[in-house]
């Protein structure tokens, strides 16, 4: 026998609370909410002011993006400088947004002098209006450094 479920205001508020709890606790959505440019909680690189540096496997990895201001939909030069060690192979950068799959957007870097790598790329404009981007710098056989920054539209 099928029981009928009547929605009362109390049942409705419980149902809404449970649904919201389930949705907000899902990883990608939680990360997307946390990555909202208004929150600024994930930004670890003020690229508009200059290069940013992070430690990786005993090395310092510095990312610079030119020209400034760093704008979406413009040709940009990405420069990675490594100090304190020498990567086995050339570094590369994967561009994306925190908590959102943007599809592949790789910047291939080539050595321009000792421990300095450069490449050209474009940061696309997100239809959602979010401006927070992530550049994941990969040094093969050494690891990855993530730089999270805001761009200008």
For residues 82 and 113, give the distance between their C-alpha atoms in angstroms, rounded to a whole number: 11
Domain architecture of the chain: domains with CATH: 52-150 (2.60.40.1930)
Say what the pLDDT of residue 40 is: 57
Three-class SS state of 31: helix
Q: How far apart are the first and last CA of the chain?
A: 59
List the structure tokens of 90. 């050339």
For residues 70 and 125, give the distance between their C-alpha atoms in angstroms, rounded to a whole number: 12
Say what the pLDDT of residue 115 is: 93
Say what the pLDDT of residue 90 is: 85
Taking alpha carbons only, the member of 23, 93, 41 closest to residue 62 is: 93
Q: Is the pTM of this model over 0.75?
A: no
For residues 65 and 119, give the distance between their C-alpha atoms in angstroms, rounded to a whole number: 10
pLDDT tens-digit profile, the chain (153 residues): 444 434 444 443 333 333 333 333 344 433 443 444 444 579 999 999 999 999 999 999 999 999 999 999 999 999 999 999 887 788 999 999 998 888 899 999 999 999 999 999 999 998 889 999 999 999 998 999 999 999 999
């Amino acid at each position: 026998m099928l029981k009928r479920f009547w929605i009362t205001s109390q049942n409705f508020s419980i149902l809404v609370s449970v649904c919201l709890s389930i949705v907000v606790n899902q990883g990608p959505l939680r990360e997307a909410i946390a990555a909202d440019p208004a929150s600024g909680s994930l930004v670890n690189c003020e690229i508009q002011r200059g290069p940013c540096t992070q430690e990786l496997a005993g090395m310092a990895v510095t990312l610079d993006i030119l020209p400034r201001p760093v704008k979406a939909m413009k040709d940009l030069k990405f420069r990675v400088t490594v100090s304190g060690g020498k990567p086995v192979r050339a570094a590369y950068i994967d561009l994306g947004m925190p908590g959102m799959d943007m599809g592949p957007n790789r910047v291939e870097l080539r050595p321009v002098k000792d421990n300095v790598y450069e490449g050209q790329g474009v940061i696309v404009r997100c239809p959602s209006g979010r401006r927070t981007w992530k550049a994941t710098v990969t040094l093969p056989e050494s690891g990855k450094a993530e730089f999270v920054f805001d761009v200008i539209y």
